[in-house]
Structure formats: structure tokens, C-alpha cells
Amino acid sequence: MDSYSIGLSGLDAAQKALETIGNNIANAATEGYHRQRINLVPRYTSQSGSVILGGGVDVAGITRMIDNFLEQEILRQQSSLGQVSQEFSTLRTVETAFGELSSGTGLNAVIDEFFNALHDLSAHPTEIIWQTQVVTAAQTMANQFRTLGKFLNTLEDQLRLEAENTIEQINTLINRIADLNDNIERIEISGGQANNLRDQRDQCITELSELINVDTQIKEYGVVNVSAAGIPVVTNAIRTELELGLTADGKLGISVAGLDNYNTNVQSGRLGGLLSLSNEIIFGIHTNLDTLASTIIQQINQYHMQGVGSEGSFSQLTGWTNTSGDLTDFSSLSAGYMYIRVTDTGSGAVTRTAVPVLQDASSDTLAEIAGYITSNVANVTATVNSSNQLTITADAGYEFDFLPSVLPDPTAGTLTGTSPPAISVSGIYTGTLNDTLRFAVSGAGSVGNGTLQLEVRDGGGAGDVIATLNIGSGYAAGDLLDLGNGIKISLGTGDFGAGDSFDVDVFADSDTSSLLGAMGINTFFSGNSAIDMAVCSDISDEPGRVATFLGADMTDNTIITRMAALKDEAISELNNMTPVEFYRRLVTDVGQQLFLTQMREDNVEVIMQNLANQQAEISGVNINDEAAQMLVYEQMFQAMAKYLNTVQSSISSLMEII
């Protein structure tokens, strides 16, 4: 009966081989499928005397044609491609939004237009057409900043949403892999083979590698353990899901679900790209854009709040809404003084009062500042409403401003002459720090006679000699004497006593605390970032309020010239670059990142193509080869059937003879 056994084994082997070939052909286009090959071995042989007889053929198993080292490299490169593709597509969107390389109407152009409008106004400081041009250019620039700020905010929200969706996909694949591991193990531990299930499981791992970097470990009975971003997510059939969340510093990270221990260092995969974009690339672009916007706002406001426009000084000013009235909550504030200059519109008399800010416990809230102004600044009151808006109001017949120009009369002095001369001070101080100048008389006698001189020292008389002025022979009463720092004085007729002196306070900054800018008093721009940058309504409603003058006579163009000069000024907050240079660097960095990312994507795609070709050679299904193999096993099946028929006929003939 060995002949029947041999024949049946051959039929069984041929049938299984044809089934394997059919399975290969059916899955020739199935993604992730690995070609299978039947393994045939000679069956146990028996010996009859000196003759050794074969026992037919056995099917030892069906093998997947797979190179595990190659598959591991494909997973690694697939993860890299997932990250770089996500970064490239997002950066290309950012480049399009900034639109600097093609349109010529991007933010760079409108920044130029704004500073050019300021320059034009400096030549025509009182003309409404140029004032309106400045307001229009500023509104256009602010709109462009807001548009880009909103775009980046929306993009950051989209990145987080995409990351959340990606986490859901990752968890779905984790559960699928764990389920397939369980099924594979149960089949193979009982002696079966689950090659098709292995392919399904490995395809899930490949899909997972596109989303996050994975490491795999091959275990017994076809089980593969999987780690994602260093977190073991599949161990046999045990699965561990992930979740997305924010770290203490506001960055996106992942954690085992429920642990809230977020890791931001996720390399490779689409999720790695999304986290890299959110935490670093787009965050950096957005931070730089906000830095540029806030610096322009602060620098323009720092100048603007000290000046006045063609509309002149103010009868009332109201700042913007603040979330807090506690001055310690404002990072832009520092301990200092804000100086209010009040003018009697009838007599022209001018006074200046220092308002302490954060100097002690009685000057660290907005309400306390308002109370101090009301109590100590003559003819001016201040209030704070429930929205923490500061309002400063002058009494009827008075106006106020924050001009740093010197007062026309000395602030203090000791004059002992019989008939001291009238002293008139004018000019705009060009120094960098507020100071008190001490004018000490050398000699005694009448102005315009003898060897009278004025020795001028800074630091309230304790500093260096900055000028020595002749007021004796050769000086005509009323002539202006220039100190060389923008300040001029003139003396009328009269006489000085020995040792006489007088002081003049000079101001480079009428708000050393930055209170006005923080509260929105006489500012040009509102907001502190790209998304909320805007021209203050007082300015847009009344272009004559655009500050152009810094001098008391309001005939100069000093403040508008200083604002226009910011275009070419290297600013420390902008890494010692000008605003235009800083923005161009920002756009150039985006372009460079895009170029490098595209190069990386192209390189990884070439590597992936080479790996795919190698994989196809090892694991791919070649229809022609399978067809050739099918013919072999078809002939084998037919031959074995004929063999069995021959054996049957032989036995039948033998039985008839017997």
C-alpha cells in the first residue's frame, strides 16, 4: 500500500502548492503582501532487504519570502519620510501665506511703505494729506501683521488637531496589531501557519511607522512586540494606548494614556513632524513675527507718547482696557517716573510734575497712580474704571501733554544780584538720559560786562563740565547761548552775585517707567503681538493727532523724524537688526528651511524607492514566475493521478489473475 501513500502524498503536495501559487497570484497587488513558497521534503523511507524505498513527499511548511533586516530599514525610512513630508507641505503653506517671493505686496513691502510715509510726514508735519497717508500705511501694515498672525494661529490649531487625529490612528493601529498578534500566536502555537495574518500585522506596523517612529522585536509563534517613540505599545496581545497633551511650557507631547507625563521629543513619523512644526518650526516663525510686531509697536509708541501732533496738547486722554490694575502684572513696566506737563492756555504758564511709578507700595496700582495725579498734578484729574482704563482730564482752560522739552524757566536757583537777569531756556535735549544741569556763575557783575561766565555741569553740578559760556564782555542781552546738546539759554539785562547758580532739568524721556505705553495713553499702535496690532482709534479718527512735534513751540519735526529713523536703526530686541532686516531674515529662514526639507524629502524618497525595489525582488509576486510554477505543479498533479490510476489498474489485473 506504499504506492497509494506515495501517490496521495504527491497529490496533496501538488494541491497545496497550487493553493499557495493561487494565493500569491490573488495577492499580487495587495499592499504589504509577501510572496509565499511551499517547502517540500522527502517523506520517511522504508527498507526492504537491501532495497531502500521512498515514502513520497511531505509539505514541511509554507514560508514567507521576507528579509527582516530590509523590513526594519523600510520602517525606519518610512518614518523619516512621514516626518519630512509633513514638514515640507506645511512650510510650503507658510511660504505661500507670507507671499514675499512672488507678489511684492507682502509684509516687507508694507513695512517699507509705513516708514516711507513717516519720512514724508517729517517734511510736511502739519499737512493733513501726509498725516492721513501715515495712518493709512500704518493700518495696512497692521492688517498684514494681523492676517499673518491669524494664519499662524489657525495653522497651530490645525497642527494640534492633526496631531490628535494622528494619535487616534496610532491607537487604532496599536489595537489592530495586538489583536493580530493574539490570533497569530493562537494559530501557530497549535502547529498552524498564519502567514496571511502576519502580512496583515506587518502592514499595520508599516502604516504605524508612517505616523510615528517604531521599533520591533520578533518573538516566538510569530508574535512581534512594538515600541512607538520609545514607549512599549504592543507586548504580545497587550496594548498600551497613547494620548496627546501640553507640557508645562505649552508644548505638544505624547504620553501613555492617563499618565500626563508628556514627552515632546518624538522623532520621525507624521506625528514627529507635527510636533516639530508645532513646538519648534512654526512656533519659532510665530515668535519672530510677534517679536517684530511688538518691537515696532513699542518703539513707535515710545516716541509717539511723548509728542504731540498738529492738533496740539490734550484736554482728555483715555487708555485701553487692561486685564489687571496691578502694575506688577505688566512685564513692560519698570520703576521710574512719568512726567505730565500742564499748560495754562490763557497765560501760557507751564508746569511739569513727576508721577512715581512702582517706587513704593503707594505707587504699584493703577488706582494709586490715578490718585496721585489727581492730588499732585495741578489742574488735572485721573480716574480708573472697572475695565482698568486710565483716563486723564485737564480742567477747563488747561491742557496737558508729555513733551520732554525743557521748561522756559530754570527749575531752581540761587540769584543774589541786585537785579537778577531774566533767564529763558529753550530747545530739545539730545542726550540719552534725564539730567539736571547746574549753571554756576563765575565772577559777579552785570550781564554783558567784564569776565562773567557760566560754567555748566551735568549731574546736578556734581558731574563733568559740559560747557563754559561767556556772558560778560561781548555778550548782548537776549542772545542765545548753545550748550551743544540741543539746549539753549538766553539772559536778559541784570546782574549776578558771586556764587550764584541755577538749575535746568533736561529730559530725554518723559516716561522712564513706560507707564504710558503699557496703559495706551497717547500711543500710536495698540496691541502687543502680530494678531492684535492696530492703529489706535484716536489716531485713525483724527490724523492730526499723529505726533510730529517734541518742542514746546510745536514747530519742529523731531518726533516724527525719530520714528521714521527706526527703519534704519539696529534694535537690540531684533538681534541688532533693523525691522526690515529682521523680517527679511525671517522670510529667508522660511525659504531655507523649505529648501532643505525638500532636499531631505527627495533623498528619502530615492532611498525608499531603492528599498522598495529590493523588497519587490525578495517578497514581490511575479505573475510569470508563478504561472511557470503552476504548470510544474499542474503536471505533477496529473502525473500523480496517472500514477495512482496505473497502480490501481495493476492491482486490479493482479486480482483478476488470482
Look up residue 100 and give its three cell numbers. 514675499
For residues 525, 528, 533, 539, the Cα torsion angle rounded to the nearest 10 degrees is -10
Distance of alpha carbon 202 from alpha carbon 45, whole angstroms? 39
pLDDT band at 43 (very low <50, low <70, confident <90, very high): confident
**Which residue, 633, 635, 643, 639, is CA-closest to 14?**
633
Instruction: Express each pLDDT in 496-516 by its tens digit.
Output: 998 999 999 999 999 999 999
Mean pLDDT of all residues in 91-111: 78
pLDDT value for 367: 95
Distance of alpha carbon 522 from alpha carbon 547, whole angstroms? 9
Distance of alpha carbon 281 from alpha carbon 225, whole angstroms? 33
State how far the alpha carbon of 135 is from the alpha carbons of 139, 300, 307, 408, 566, in Å: 6, 13, 16, 33, 17
Distance of alpha carbon 580 from alpha carbon 584, whole angstroms? 6
pLDDT value for 48: 63
pLDDT band at 6 (very low <50, low <70, confident <90, very high): confident
Q: Judge residue 345's burial from the number of C-beta atoms within 10 Å of its C-beta, 0-12 exposed, 13-18 middle, 19 or more buried.
A: middle
- Amino acid present at 246: L
pLDDT value for 49: 65
Per-domain residue ranges of the chain: 2-65+620-657, 70-283+584-610, 412-506
Higher-scoring residue by pLDDT: 656, 413: 413
| Full DSSP string of 603-615 | HHHHHHHHHHHHH
Instruction: Express each pLDDT in 306-358 by its tens digit.
Output: 999 999 999 999 999 999 999 999 988 999 999 999 999 999 999 999 999 99
**Which residue, 468, 357, 485, 489, is CA-closest to 433?**
485
- Kindly state the DSSP code that residue 365 receives in the 8-state scheme: B
